[in-house]
Amino acid sequence: MKTIYLLLTAFLITINADAQKITFNDMMKSALHMHDTASTWPAEKAVADYYGKVIKEYPDEWLSAYWATYIYTQLANSLGRADGSPDNVKKADLLDEAQRTQDVAMKRYQGDSAEIKSDLYIMQSFIYYFRNVYGEEEEKESWIAKADEEMKKALQFNSYNPLAYVLMGTSMVRSDNFKEVIAGRLLLQKAKALFADVDEHRALTTQWNEEWLRFFWLGHADNMVKKTLFGE
């Protein structure tokens, strides 16, 4: 009788623990909310740490590692400019962390979706882009070549990838050539439309640079068109 009681108690404890465990989807939504509301460098670092927790709690999921990679690239890019930036952290170390989580995402994804594979290669290209921006001068050319190669792989899997459209479009609208600026704006507008076609909560998608359109780049593209056409 005592054995049955102990087994029943253990069973009920297990059920209760499972019931209290936060779901993967809820944790992903919480992480994105933290990111969307972060206003300082330490707050964004807390986002990366939280994604790290999701990665550990759900070892079969790749998307948490994918988003963590994006957050680490943003931590590297904003270091020294964002409020609360620490003095004892290096951009290269943050990009190393981005590569570590990217490797986790690549290893965990075992599916055959061309779209997801494309998204994974674009993230790798993004890391290499920042390696170029913040790396040693003698290494810049090799990092750019690697970034371009990963982007090419991504587009081979999905040539209509909105993530790629945003990266290419934001680069093109910085040009002084009005034709390139207008073409870049078209890419950004197309990316916005493709993002809008996805019904799923953004935290559960790969749409990390969709926020760039809302916060800055679409409006900036319009301004650049006026500047290159009318000198405004």
Q: What pLDDT shows up at residue 21?
A: 79
Across the chain, which has 232 residues, the per-10-residue mean pLDDT values are: 50 49 96 98 98 98 98 98 97 98 98 98 98 93 96 98 97 95 97 96 97 92 94 78
User: How much is the pLDDT for 129?
Assistant: 97
- Burial, 59: exposed, middle or buried (Cβ in 10 Å; 0-12, 13-18, 19+)? exposed
- Model pTM greater than 0.85? yes
pLDDT at 232: 67
Q: pLDDT value at position 18? A: 52
Q: Looking at residue 4, what is its pLDDT?
A: 54
| Helix, coil or strand: residue 40 | coil
